[in-house]
Amino acid sequence: METKTTTKVLQLLSILQSGQHYTPEDFAGILGTSRRTVFRYLRILRESNITYHWDAKSKYYTLDMDLPLPGQSLSTQEALGLLLLTFRARNHIQLPFGNSALQAAIKIENILPEATKRYCNTVLRSISVKCAPQAKMILLDRIFVQLMEAILKKRIVNIRYSLSGKSQSLVTDLSPYHLRYSDYRWCVIGESSLHRQVRTIEFDRIKEVKVLNKCFVENRDFDVNEYLGKAWSAAPEGRLYHIMLRVSPEAAHDVAGVQWHSTQKAVYKADGSAIVEFRVDGLNEIMWWILSFGNKVHVIEPKILREKIAETVQNMTKQKGRMPSV
């Protein structure tokens, strides 16, 4: 089972163990996935001999609390996978409640059979994971809890947030639909009263969140996958572009060798360079990604993207020229 699925299944198990009553829609909202995927995760739990019950009258799930202690029922590989995820990779993705997850893993480790514990400790000493860049999220847990509860209870939130590159702030009432982690940061997607449409707001730009005593009517037509469409990350702009890039041999492995987008196609040339293509909604997000590779990535098309990058680089050069000497 891949790491992402394992993480989601463990999150689902933690939610069930909380003793609260949740519907499939609640699970989907908390996990940031579809109802269909939730049912797949539930099936994985049942196949792992973790039993739960569906209350048809109240329409919620409950966990069978007569489960054996988790450490006694884990195989060596299951225990290693869990401890590896928690002890070595937990800082790789900035998940909320990181300390709680660490404490839970320590509790499970303490009740593992001695042979399994020794094996896991020996392996973990030989493994390290380099943490990816992360947005600074001092208030991650608090913001996450506020927005998660607002999604579950269908409450409108008042959000004050900063604009990119500007000192001013905007205030809007938001009907939150979905929480998403993308490009090293968390964001909330919802209907904004200020913009009168669905918007994406990054957590690290949020200055203040107030959960209002007002409910919103659930938009059953909203689908996060449909909204995001073919956006490079989390901010679709409403227009699709065919992006074609020429990547130098020095960067071909880093660009073509990684699956950056679902529409990606790559062809390696005899000189070691690569032609990489995408179908992307919007240009701003992919433009900054391209700029991160410097002169090792050249835009073949569209022309408008080449012009945006040239203008951005020119402005950067002008700003450098205005910088005071040290």
What CATH code is carried by the domain that includes residue 151?
2.30.30
Is 129 a domain residue?
A: no
Q: How many CB atoms lie within 10 A of CB 285?
A: 18
Residue 190 has pLDDT above 90, yes or no: yes
Same domain (yes/no): 288, 308:
yes
The total number of structural domains that make up the chain: 3
CA 198 – CA 187 distance, rounded (Å)? 13
> Pick from 280, 288, 182: which is nearest to 231 by CA?
280
Residue 91: which of 121, 129, 125 has the closest Cα?
Answer: 129
Residue 85, phi then psi, degrees to nearest 5: -65, -40
Per-residue pLDDT tens for 73-84? Answer: 677 888 888 888
Are 76 and 108 in a shared domain?
A: yes
Q: Label residue 208 by pLDDT band (50, 70, 90).
A: very high
Instruction: Confirm whether 130 is domain-assigned.
Output: no
> Do 214 and 267 reside in the same domain of the chain?
no
pTM attached to this predicted model: 0.62
pLDDT for 134? 61
Three-state SS for 192?
Answer: strand
Distance CA 96, CA 10 (A): 14
Given a cut of 70, whether residue 36 has pLDDT beyond it is: yes
326 pLDDT tier (thresholds 50, 70, 90)? very low
Residue with tokens 């913009």: 195
Domain boundary among the residues 91, 124, 157 is at: 124
Q: Side-chain half-sphere of 153: how many Cα atoms within 13 Å?
A: 14
Host domain of residue 22: 3-124
Determine, yes or no, domain membership for 178: yes
pLDDT digits (tens, 9 = 90+) for 18-33: 667 778 888 888 888 8
Domain termination site, one of 124, 158, 190: 124
Q: What are 37-80's pLDDT values in tens digits?
A: 988 888 888 887 777 878 777 778 877 655 554 555 677 888 88
- Asked whether residue 134 is domain-assigned, the answer is no
Which residues does residue 298 pair with via DSSP β-bridges, in sequence order?
A: 246
Which of these, 175, 226, 178, lies nearest to 31 by C-alpha position? 178
Residue finishing a domain among 73, 92, 124: 124
Give the end-to-end CA distance of the chain in Å, rounded to a whole number.
54
d(CA 299, CA 308): 11
Q: DSSP secondary-structure letter at 182?
A: E
Does residue 146 sit in the same domain as residue 115?
no
Q: In this structure, what DSSP letter does residue 68 have?
A: P
